[in-house]
Structure formats: structure tokens, C-alpha cells
Amino acid sequence: MGTKEKILQKIHNLITTKFKSAQEAFYFYDKDKDGSLNRDEIKTLLKAAEISGLLRGVVAGELIKGYDKSGDEAINLEEFKVAITELERDL
């Protein structure tokens, strides 16, 4: 299993074991309650998923780059749901 797959597995494990749904996880990590996960909030989620501190910034940036369709440098709930659906499909 490569690094990307390990990261995806850790994120999936966090969301499926600590939360009832992806939506619940989203609202938990949306600390400022603005309806989107910014880079720091994503890094907090990644820390909880036990992603190495060295990788968190890179992974957060890649998640934003890959799923931020609105161009606001954050991931809204719909974008988050797409990411989680794709993550589950790819595992």
C-alpha cells in the first residue's frame, strides 16, 4: 500500500469510527462554523486521522486543490461529501 492509500485509509477510518456520517465529521471540524473547511481545519482533521505533521500541509493543499470547485481555497459540505464518496470508492 502506497503513501496516498495509507492516508486515504486513515481518513476513512477516522470518519467511519468517530462519526455517524461524513456530514457530522464536516460540522465537527468546521470550527468557525462558516460552512467550509479551511486549510487549518483540514489539517486538524488530518492530525486526528494520525497523518504525520510533515505531510499535513501538503495533503491539505492537495485536498483543496482537488475538491475546491468553488475556488474559495476551502472545502464546503458538498465538496467534502464528494471527496468522502470518492475516498470510499477508491479503497
Which CATH number goes with the domain that contains 75?
Answer: 1.10.238.10
Domain range enclosing 30: 3-90
Based on the structure, what is the number of domains in the chain? Answer: 1
DSSP string for 2-43: -HHHHHHHHHHHHHHHH-SSHHHHHHHH-TT-SSEE-HHHHH
Q: Per-residue pLDDT for 90 more than 80?
A: no
Model-level pTM greater than 0.85? yes
Which pLDDT value is given to residue 1? Answer: 55
Q: Give pLDDT, residue 16.
A: 93
What does the pLDDT average to over 68-88? 93
Q: Which amino acid is at 19?
A: F
Q: What is the pLDDT of residues 1-26, one digit of tens each?
A: 578 889 989 999 999 999 999 999 99
Residue 64 has pLDDT above 80, yes or no: yes
Would you place residue 67 in the very low, low, confident or very high pLDDT band (cuts 50, 70, 90)? Answer: very high
